[in-house]
């Protein structure tokens, strides 16, 4: 039995940058060759890529930690370390990656383009960078920056043009099976379909759309009742919905109440779904009377929906429904994509001062602190306002005071990972 998994949580860590080298040029008959330590290589990124051979996130149930390799350390002779290879993680197309702690969307893996989610650390500078007229033999180098690391939540949201919704056993799987090559399990009991099924509906040369059979919803699905709540997220991407109703009430339920209940579940899960274009198909019309069909048709059309009575099992009057779907899709925008959300500005209070480590090497003050890495990843140092924000953070968090305590003087060099500046009093 294949288990469908559409949510997974994993830990990712990009590679640390390699350390810079402390080395000096030594050659016969060449006095005071000077420093020639090379830079460290960049750490590997964590890259996510869509793989159409994958249909679930099941692989992530067994492996939950992914780490990219570290960059190579610099060497003497001005030899820079080799940058590390990226770690490529393949996921099903339609996977949305979120920060597990904040819920912030990091990437939507829906196209063929690979996406870097965690960046490798930059390599540290070798001692060749720190040579000055007054410091001709620097005996220090910069360590590589650590790579980004965090827990991410993977959520698979299927990419389909049309989503079939409705109660269990109303004929959704049957409809998909007769209009496409998909072969879902079909039987006369509830929850026969326990995984979403995608089928390509071909209407002619160059004309097709993707239809998704979403496992049956029941009342309370949005808060975890039944199976449907596991798959409501797959409806979010659909450009339009087709609501399948057992118009004959063959299982003792009222078709009107079924219709209202499922629409309510969709709205409770995501209010935007209530605004999604919808067509209503009344299945099993061979078991209903003409009065039942006419009454339900009036009920649906009064609410502004188009209605099509069908018998999915024998494909009776299915073509008018498909033609209407084609016409509606031609008016709608493409399948939605989730945009990556920017990192929020992080304010730091003075209590963070104790987490700053400052070391002085020949007049260069190195500032280190894990929280500083997160701040620096959100700052654009080429933008004046962003740079001012970073200066305010250093002041408010007590970093400037800590530099004074460490003995910094005007004109001394301050190095915060890969950002370096001359201190101005």
Q: Is residue 142 part of a domain?
A: yes
The pLDDT value given to residue 223: 46
Same domain for 121 and 230?
A: no
CB-CB neighbours of 262 under 10 Å? 24
The pLDDT value given to residue 344: 65
Q: Is residue 306 part of a domain?
A: yes
Greater model confidence, 260 or 3: 260
The pLDDT value given to residue 217: 61
Domain that holds residue 204: 162-329
Cα 233 from Cα 225, distance rounded (Å):
15
Q: Is residue 177 part of a domain?
A: yes
Which residue has tokens 């067994």? Answer: 62
Domain CATH for 42: 2.70.210.12
Note the pLDDT tens digit of each residue in 115-154: 999 999 989 888 888 777 767 777 778 888 889 999 999 9
CB-CB neighbours of 177 under 10 Å? 21
Same domain for 49 and 146?
A: yes
Domain CATH for 360: 3.30.300.350
**C-beta contacts of 349-357 below 8 A and 24+ residues apart:** 349/396, 349/397, 350/396, 350/397, 350/398, 352/397, 352/398, 353/397, 353/398, 353/399, 353/401, 353/402, 356/397, 356/398, 356/399, 356/402
Note the pLDDT tens digit of each residue in 163-203: 888 888 888 888 988 888 766 544 443 444 446 777 888 88
Note the pLDDT tens digit of each residue in 33-50: 778 889 999 999 999 999
Same domain for 375 and 293?
A: no
Same domain for 151 and 179?
A: no
Characterize the bridge pairing of strands 197-204 and 207-213.
antiparallel
Question: By mean pLDDT, which of 24-28, 276-280, 317-321, 343-347 is the weakest?
Answer: 343-347
β partners of residue 99: 152
Same domain for 9 and 117?
A: yes
Cα 66 from Cα 70, distance rounded (Å):
13
Same domain for 42 and 121?
A: yes
Same domain for 325 and 373?
A: no
Same domain for 93 and 222?
A: no
* Final residue before a domain boundary, out of 112, 132, 157: 157
Same domain for 69 and 134?
A: yes
Same domain for 241 and 187?
A: yes
- How many structural domains does the chain have? 3
Q: Is residue 335 part of a domain?
A: no
* Final residue before a domain boundary, out of 329, 364, 380: 329
Tell me what the pLDDT averaged over the chain comes to: 82
Q: What SS3 state is found at 171?
A: coil
Same domain for 123 and 193?
A: no
Note the pLDDT tens digit of each residue in 200-249: 888 877 788 888 887 756 544 334 444 444 556 667 788 999 999 999 88
């Amino acid at each position: 039995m294949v288990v469908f998994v559409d949510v997974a949580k994993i830990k990712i860590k990009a590679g640390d940058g390699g350390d810079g080298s402390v080395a000096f040029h030594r050659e016969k008959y060449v006095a005071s060759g000077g420093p020639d330590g090379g830079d460290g290589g960049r750490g590997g990124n964590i890259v996510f890529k869509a793989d159409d051979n994958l249909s679930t996130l099941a692989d992530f149930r067994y492996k939950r930690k992914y780490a990219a390799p570290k960059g190579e350390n610099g060497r003497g002779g001005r030899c820079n370390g080799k940058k590390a290879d990226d770690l490529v993680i393949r996921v099903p197309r339609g996977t949305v990656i979120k920060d597990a702690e904040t819920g912030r969307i990091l990437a939507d893996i829906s196209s063929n383009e690979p996406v870097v989610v965690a960046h490798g650390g930059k390599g540290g500078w070798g001692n060749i960078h720190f040579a000055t007229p007054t410091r001709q033999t620097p005996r220090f180098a910069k360590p590589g920056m650590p790579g980004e690391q965090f827990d991410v939540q993977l959520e698979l949201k299927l990419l389909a043009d049309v989503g079939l919704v409705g109660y269990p056993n109303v004929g959704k799987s049957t409809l998909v099976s007769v209009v496409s090559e998909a072969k879902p399990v079909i039987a006369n009991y509830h929850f026969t379909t326990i995984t979403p099924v995608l089928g390509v509906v071909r209407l002619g040369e160059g004309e097709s759309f993707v239809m998704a059979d979403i496992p049956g919803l029941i009342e309370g699905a949005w808060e975890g009742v039944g199976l449907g709540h596991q798959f409501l997220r797959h409806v979010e991407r659909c450009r339009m919905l087709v609501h399948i109703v057992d118009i004959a009430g063959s299982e003792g339920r009222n078709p009107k109440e079924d219709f209202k209940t499922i629409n309510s579940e969709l709205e409770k899960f995501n209010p935007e779904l209530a605004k999604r274009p919808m067509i209503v198909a009344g299945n099993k019309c061979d078991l209903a009377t003409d009065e039942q069909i006419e009454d339900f048709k009036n009920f649906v059309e009064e609410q502004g929906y188009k209605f099509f009575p069908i018998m999915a099992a024998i494909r009776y009057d299915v073509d008018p429904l498909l033609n209407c779907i084609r016409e509606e899709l031609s008016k709608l925008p493409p399948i939605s994509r989730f945009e990556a959300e920017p990192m929020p500005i992080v304010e730091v209070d003075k209590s963070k001062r104790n987490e700053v480590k400052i070391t002085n090497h020949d007049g260069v003050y190195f500032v280190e602190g894990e929280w500083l890495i997160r701040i620096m990843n959100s700052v654009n140092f080429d933008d004046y306002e962003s740079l001012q924000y970073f200066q305010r953070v250093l002041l408010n968090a007590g970093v400037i005071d800590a530099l004074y305590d460490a003995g910094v003087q005007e004109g001394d060099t301050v190095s915060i990972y890969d950002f370096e500046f001359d201190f101005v009093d």
